[in-house]
Chain A
Amino acid sequence: MISLPSFLAISFILFVSGLVVMIAKKNIIAILLGVELILNSAALNFAAYTRFVNQNLDGHIMSLFIIIIAAAEAAVGLAIVIRFFQIRESIHIDDATQLLQ
């Protein structure tokens, strides 16, 4: 019952959920939440594969780094959000369209 496909299925659901959140939500923080979900799905995949396929700890190390990077990303991302909010008084993603100009 607890086999690799089941982990992959869970990871897939997490990934798709993250993707949907990233595209559907217009709140920047909500989008960051989606990013976290996707990162988690990736980390889970590493852990699952390393357990079922080659039985060493490299996947764990990889997952560990993903967690670290996610933390760093969250910190910087949230800082940007707060800064953006200070300037624009909004965290709506459609207000962040400087690329258009």
Chain B
Amino acid sequence: MDYTIGNIAPIILLPFAAFVINAFIVKKVPKFAVGLGCITMFASFCYACRVFKDFVFVTYSADYYVHKVFTWFDLGLINGKPFNVDMGIYLDNMSAVLLLMVTGCALIIHIFSTFYMEHDARFGSFFVYLSLFTAAMIGLVLSENLLSVFVFWELMGFCSYSLIGFYYEKEGAGNASMKAFMTTRVGDVFFLVGILAIWSTIGSTSFVDIYAAIASGAFNDLTVVGIPLVTFSAISIFLGTIGKSAQFPLQVWLPDAMWGPTPCSALIHAATMVAAGVYLSLRMYPLMEAGGITTVIAYIGGITAFGAATIALIQTDIKAVLAYSTISQLGYMVLGIGVGAYNAAFMHLITHAVFKACLFLSAGSVIHSLHDHHTDGHVQEMPRMGGLRKKMPFTFIAMLCCTFAIAGFPFFSGFVSKDRILGDALLQALDHKTMIAPAVLGFIAALLTAFYMFRMMFLTFYGEPRDKELYEHTDVETLSWNRNVPLLILTVFTLGFWYSGSLTGQGLVKFPGVEHKEWFSTLIKKPDVEKFTKYKREAWGSTDSRDQFFEKAHYDANHGMTEAQAHHAHHVHHIGAIMSIIIAFFGFFIAYMMYIKKAWSPGWWSSKLSPWYRALQSKYFFDDLYIKVIIQKGLLGMNNFLAWIDMGIYDRYIVDGTEVINRFAYRVSNWFDNKIVDTVGVDGTGASVRLFNVVLRTIQSGKIQFYFMILVVVLVSYIWTLV
């Protein structure tokens, strides 16, 4: 398993090359550009499969990794040490799995886009952005250091900006894209601070060096602005996650991101953009742990999961429901990081990516079919849908499976991952009082998730069509390769056993005769920082020499815990799993009663809880707070004030005011000259000046006679001197 540039680099270089080539040819041959984008994506996926196979089937060790660096640029020697800025590849089990997920989802989204965007005027351009977006995400996954992560991180920000603003003739798209970029950039700036803090302390941003530094205590006793450096950098980097993964309080951009075309929403919400934030936090998990901010992370995750789920309750736009559900699920992942469920959080990242991609693509399929002939636009509002399962049965099945997955029904992937997070949260809550709140919020959010997802399903696919005309115009879904095949593939992977190795997940009910193989939970585990201290950096192209101290096959069923602890944990996990199954069914039941049976009226609830309902409608006033108060009142007001000070006061009065001083000085000196000098009687100065003035003026008269006179005078004076 000796990886060289030829094995890994194509994964990122192929989509990137597609981007570069397509950027130039897309205007001439859009069809070819689309084909190129898809083919390169497929090739990239194949390479990722190979990497995945090597990591998963050859070794079980969670510690094994491939690390290759080359110098990007260097600045010569600093205090005798060379200062190199490195780029390179860091590939371990987590990256391998994530790579597969990213390339796989991206490939499927590419294929679906050929269906969805077919009639768009800028069919080709869309694929240019898609290629770059995917390349950036792949680059981020492959990165070996934080700086390189930041580079791709920002590139993704740029791509999301372009894709959200894809329909640039709409004013709202402009607002949304700008909002997305700026909000994530708030996080990015802090991320950069964190990078700088680490970089300037240990002279490198490589993951390996950071782990080694944590293990060797290089961060100890250092402080930045009063807080320990390790905490400072952990918070800063986690703020990057908050921005990118739309956590509270920077969640405002993600719902607006649906201004982009639906496949791009799928890409942003599932595979790339938001996953990057969680991935970063997972990578930097040792740092977060060392910084002691896991409680904060858990609280933020819990609040996000709960808050976004509540907002999703009342959304009527199908994509908005999905957007808030994304935020909520991301909250789960962050909660998982906070409660130490490293493995489960990552697993939820993967499972969520699959079912959320499927949900968005299904929603896209629905929206694409519903064409309003009056406004010549697609319909996204659920109040105008209803009964669509007869028109598009295949989409319905796909979406239903995904809804089961996200709601955490047994046998589906969401159950496997989410319930392990909740189980760990419960475990933490039992041990520490402070962790009770996040766990409770997590469980309530699970209930709400099941409810609003089924609400969406029922409103869309069940009941009577509420907009008859629209319903009549909708064509019956016919199977097509680029619409249903992607959905089918994703649907298959919403099943739980792909991830857990057992049919139910959790390893609780073992399928008879099948060996117990929880590949996921054994492959991915917290990096053991102690192991990295021994490591010497390897240059690009050199062969691995780490085989001697990294065992390739290693499996620890208890995850490093003692037998008693493991037993306790298993026990709590059982309780958590049962609780969440009950909760999921309860959520389903409420939705059923409200929207199918119509036994309980949603209107009654909303009128009963009207203040809260209003708060939900305005998304807890975050948009108002940020845009109206902070930006419009605060920032713009201050800007205008400053600009007015700058040009209106400072420039006009202080800088140009020196002219007044000059004029005053002139007047004073003039007065002095006239009144003092003249009246005192020293008339000579002024008079001579005036005379001189007269003389000069006369000399320049151009009159020949005057010149002649001068000549005579000069002649005479010459004569006088002679005589």
A22 to B704 CA separation, bound complex (whole angstroms): 10
A101 touches B702 (CB 8 A): yes
Q: Which residues of A contact B712 (CB under 8 A)?
A: 19
- Expressed in whole angstroms, the Cα–Cα distance for A66 and B619 within the complex equals 113
B700 interface neighbour in A93, A94, A98, A100, Cβ under 8 Å: A100
Name the interface residues of B213-241: CB closer than 8 Å to any CB of A.
none
CA distance A67 to B379 in the complex (A): 114
Q: Does A97 contact B (CB under 8 A)?
A: yes
CB of B705 within 8 A of CB of A97, answer no
Q: How many residues of B contact A (CB 8 A)?
A: 10
Q: How far is the CA of A23 from the CA of B708 in the complex (A)?
A: 8
Please measure, in the bound complex, the distance between the C-alpha atom of A59 and the C-alpha atom of B707, giving whole angstroms.
31
Q: Kindly state the separation between the CA atoms of A6 and B705 in the bound complex, as whole angstroms.
A: 30
Indicate whether A87 reaches chain B with its CB closer than 8 angstroms: no
Q: Is B478 an interface residue (CB 8 A)?
A: no
Min C-beta distance of A41 to chain B, whole Å: 15
**Docked-complex contact B702 and A100, CB < 8 angstroms:** yes
**How far apart are B719's CB and chain A's nearest CB, in angstroms?**
13
Say whether, besides A19-B712, A23-B708, A23-B709, A93 and B702 are in contact (CB < 8 Å).
no
A99 close to B (CB within 8 Å): yes
In the complex, which of the residues B702, B705, B707, B709 contacts A98, with contact meaning CB atoms closer than 8 Å?
Answer: B702
Residue of A nearest to B702 (CB): A100
State whether the Cβ of B703 lies closer than 8 Å to any Cβ in chain A.
yes
Taking CB atoms, residues of chain B closer than 8 Å to A98 are: 702
0 or 1 for each of B185-218: is its CB under 8 Å from A? (1 = yes) = 0000000000000000000000000000000000
Q: Which residues of B contact A22 (CB under 8 A)?
A: 705, 708
B709: A residues at CB distance < 8 A:
23
From A19, A31, A97, contact of B702 by CB (8 A):
A97
Contacts of A19 in B (CB 8 A): 712
Asked whether any CB of chain A lies closer than 8 Å to the CB of B701, the reply is yes
Question: Residue A10 at the B interface, CB < 8 A?
Answer: no
A96 at the interface (CB under 8 A from B): yes
Separation of A20 and B701 alpha carbons in the complex (Å):
20
B705 near A23 (CB under 8 angstroms)?
yes
B707: chain A residues at CB < 8 Å are 99
Task: Give A87 to B593 CA distance when docked, in angstroms.
Answer: 111
Residue of B nearest to A96 (CB): B704
Question: Which bucket holds chain A's interface residue count?
Answer: 10 to 19
Q: Which residues of B contact A99 (CB under 8 A)?
A: 702, 704, 707
Query: Would A94 and B708 count as touching, CB distance under 8 A?
Result: no
Q: How far is the CB of A47 from chain B (nearest CB, A)?
A: 23
Q: Give the shortest distance, in Å, between B673 (CB) and chain A (any CB).
A: 30
- A94 vs B704: C-alpha distance in the bound complex, in angstroms? 8
The A55-101 residues at the B interface (CB cut-off 8 A) are 93-94, 96-101
Q: How far is the CA of A60 from the CA of B712 in the complex (A)?
A: 27
How far, in whole Å, are A19 and B715 apart by their CA atoms in the complex? Answer: 13
Contact B708 A97 (CB under 8 A): no
A93 lies within 8 A of B703 (CB):
yes
For the complex formed, measure the closest distance between the CB of A42 and the CB atoms of chain B, giving whole angstroms.
14
A19 to B713, CA, bound (A): 12
What distance in Å separates the Cβ of A23 from its nearest Cβ neighbour in chain B?
6
Q: How far is the CA of A63 from the CA of B702 in the complex (A)?
A: 33
- B679-722: which have CB < 8 Å to A? 700-705, 707-709, 712
In the assembly, what is the distance between CA of A27 and CA of B617, in Å? 100
Q: How far is the CA of A100 from the CA of B707 in the complex (A)?
A: 12
Query: Which residues of the other chain, A, contact B708 by a CB distance below 8 angstroms?
Result: 22-23
Roughly how many angstroms separate A98 CA and B708 CA in the complex, as a whole number? 16
Which of B704, B707, B708, B709 lies at the interface centre, i.e. has the most chain A CB atoms within 10 A of its CB? B704
Residues of A within 8 A of B702 (CB): 97-101
Closest A-chain residue to B707, C-beta based? A99
Let me know if B701 and A93 touch, CB within 8 A: no
Q: Distance (Å) between the CB of A18 and the closest chain B CB?
A: 12
B706 → chain A closest CB, angstroms: 9
Cβ–Cβ contact B705 & A100, under 8 A: no
- Chain B hits for A100, CB < 8 A: 700-703
Q: How far is the CA of A17 from the CA of B707 in the complex (A)?
A: 19
Q: Which residue of chain B lies nearest to A100 when distances are taken between CB atoms in the complex?
A: B702
User: Which residues of A are interface residues toward B (Cβ below 8 A)?
Assistant: 19, 22-23, 31, 93-94, 96-101
Closest 10 CB pairs of A and B: A100-B702, A97-B702, A99-B702, A23-B705, A97-B703, A93-B705, A23-B709, A94-B703, A100-B701, A93-B704
Additional A-B contacts beyond A100-B700, A101-B702 (7; CB < 8 A): A19-B712, A93-B703, A93-B705, A97-B701, A98-B702, A99-B707, A100-B701
Q: List 20 A-B contacts (CB under 8 A).
A: A19-B712, A22-B705, A22-B708, A23-B705, A23-B708, A23-B709, A31-B705, A93-B704, A93-B705, A94-B703, A96-B704, A97-B701, A97-B703, A99-B702, A99-B704, A99-B707, A100-B700, A100-B701, A100-B703, A101-B702
